[in-house]
Amino acid sequence: MQQYQVIVIGTGPAGYVCAIRCAQLGMKVACVEKYITANGKPAVGGTCLNVGCIPSKALLDSSHHLQFLREHAKEHGLNVSNITVDIPAMQKRKDKVVQTLTSGVASLLKKNKITVFSGTASFISARQIHVKNPTVDGVTEKLQGKHIIIASGSKPIQIQGVQIDNQLVSDSTGALNFRTAPKRLGIIGAGVIGLEMGSVWNRLGSKVIILEAMQTFLNLADETIAKEGFKALSKQGLDVRLGRSVNAIGVSDGKVLVKYSGNESLAVDKLIVAVGRKANTEGLKLESINVKTDARGFIEVDSGWQTSVKNVYAIGDVIGGAMLAHKGSEEGMALAERLAGQAGQVNYHAVPWVIYTWPEIAWVGKTEKQCKDANVAYRTGVFPFMALGRARAMGDTQGLIKIIGDKNTDRILGVHIIGANASELISEAVIAIEAELSTEDLARTIHAHPSLAEGMHEAALAVAERAIHV
């Protein structure tokens, strides 16, 4: 039996980062990864690199270039005609991006002398696991570890009674691999995945209809940003229908028929089911060692990410909360440092959220509603992109930056952005909240001109009603 100080189950952003940090701190580490590519080869990187964050952003960027050429190039004096779209070539580029990054992670694991086992892990005891190789029948490994870390991630939630074939009815993975743009595309769920995939295929020529059960759009985002986002995406052609609960899904004559609330129905060429994700714990045999899970199947952990079983830990999507790659990575870093006797920690109040539509949507900290619900006295400052010289020069003037500050202490409570490059701009806000800065601190910080980041400066000034350029 092979023995290790740390065994990490899963090599997504939570798992591989944790493994590398453990190795950096002098521990003997092994990882177990069950993912197999479409061509039958093992690959590290988990959902994020293989069928999530990275491939979706590759398609979003490719389709955004097309949108620019068709709708905005002429404004810049660029006369482009006879534009053609080669979706298979676009998919090939996406696959190359994924392969490059997963190979890079494999190299990092090797560089740090981490042993990677391909296969499905299952617990024998709190310190032992079986690893069954998915490509070779009957081949198993038995591993023993002082600490075992579950970082097995999440998988798409399926609607009961709906068969996902990734032909007519797809989950988020299948939605990344269409070879042609369907004439009519239905999406169930107006969350991050639904909006990003809807944006991709809308740009590539599909008529996209999104059915959302919630009565509100992007209920996790600040209301000001959500309203602006709904308006922007609707203008682009996304037909987002709120308060629509799906009752039945059927397939007939090569079409997908969706019946939803109000006795309404929708016929589409393809349907994407994007109603959320759940913990990926299948096959781990958690019950055999009494690891506790909550009512939704997420693994319960304490403040140090230890499960109900001593020396068994869990991080990333598998424990729920903000199911974000960067959140999982930080948990992996912090846990590794705790296992080494250091004081690793994660500030969950400073975790940024990003939706990679265009304009992008990003936020960190509290929303205005959360402040109201908590009876926190606050002030807000808002600054529009249309007043930024850099945004004007780019031709991307849609959006705004909103800063929420504590009325009594002036500490920054939340920052909310919709606009070009919001995914990059939010980092300044994350640092500000992590460092417990005030809106005055941002207002007194010199920002380069012309830049989109000036909007952060002006929004901070606006909190005290002294913005210059509005």
174, two tokens: 């299948």
Buried b (16+ CB within 10 A) or exposed e, 32-68: bbbbeeeeeebbbbbbbbbbbbbbbebbbbbbbebbb
- Residue 450: asked if its preceding bond is cis (omega within 30°), the reply is yes
Strands (E), 24-179: 29-33, 115-118, 120-125, 128-132, 140-150, 154-156, 169-170
User: In Å, how far are 89, 429, 435, 439 from 414, measured between CA atoms?
Assistant: 41, 8, 13, 10
For the annotated catalytic residues, the residue numbers are: 449
Q: Which amino acid is at 153?
A: G
358, two tokens: 């265009």
Q: Which of 313, 243, 381, 451 is nearest to 15 (CA)?
A: 313
User: In Å, how far are 34, 123, 131, 307, 418 from 283, measured between CA atoms?
Assistant: 11, 9, 11, 17, 41
Q: Across-strand partners of 355?
A: 361
Query: What is the spatial distance between Cα 249 and Cα 209, in angstroms, rounded to a whole number?
Result: 15
Q: Do 188 and 159 form a contact (C-beta atoms < 8 A)?
A: yes
Structure-token match 């079983």, residue found: 309
Beta carbons within 8 Å of 352's beta carbon, 6+ residues apart? 326, 362, 363, 364, 426, 427, 429, 430
Query: What is the spatial distance between Cα 53 and Cα 317, in angstroms, rounded to a whole number?
Result: 13
User: CB burial class (10 A; 0-12, 13-18, 19+) of residue 318?
Assistant: buried
Dihedral angle, C-alpha 367, 372, 378, 379, nearest 10 °: 70
Q: Which of 312, 258, 315 is nearest to 287 (CA)?
A: 312
Q: Do 304 and 137 form a contact (C-beta atoms < 8 A)?
A: no
Query: What is the spatial distance between Cα 30 and Cα 23, in angstroms, rounded to a whole number?
Result: 9
